[in-house]
Amino acid sequence: MQKKYLIKKNIDYRKVYNSGISLTNRYVVIFVSKNNQSNKRFGFSVSKKIGKAVKRNYIRRRLKEICRLNENWFQNGYDYIFIARKGIDEVSYNILVGSLEKLVYRISKLISGKFKT
């Protein structure tokens, strides 16, 4: 995933947490907020409760790859933050893809109603 699509600064994360909407499933929490830019941006957060650094980075890489391969799921002009939940490390890649697809579909319907321009 290219750097221009990543959220790096704490202030940007806080803005999404405070002004955005969220949905959750068994493995991931997703926060979405309008970003007043022409592209979509992604942020990934994996807690130390999940495991040590190797496991956390593995999960982060999986989430980034799912987002990179399925960019068409996400709308331009929004920031998306994914927070991994406990148990995500025990699930297979295909189940995680299906789970994220359903979650992103639900959040897209929500943001089309809430953030109308």
Q: What is the mean pLDDT of each run of 10 residues along the chain (117 residues)?
A: 85 92 93 90 94 94 93 91 93 94 91 67
Cα distance from N-terminal residue to C-terminal residue, the chain: 28
pLDDT value at residue 5: 84
pLDDT of the residue at 115: 60
| Amino acid 116: pLDDT | 56
CATH 3.30.360.10 fits 3-111, yes or no: no
Domain boundaries, the chain: 3-111
pLDDT of residue 52: 95
pLDDT value of residue 47 = 93
Phi, psi angle pair for 32, to nearest 5°: -135, 140
70 neighbors 101 (Cβ within 8 angstroms) = yes
Name the DSSP letter for residue 73. Answer: G
Q: 113: which residues sit within 8 A by CB, 6+ positions away?
A: none
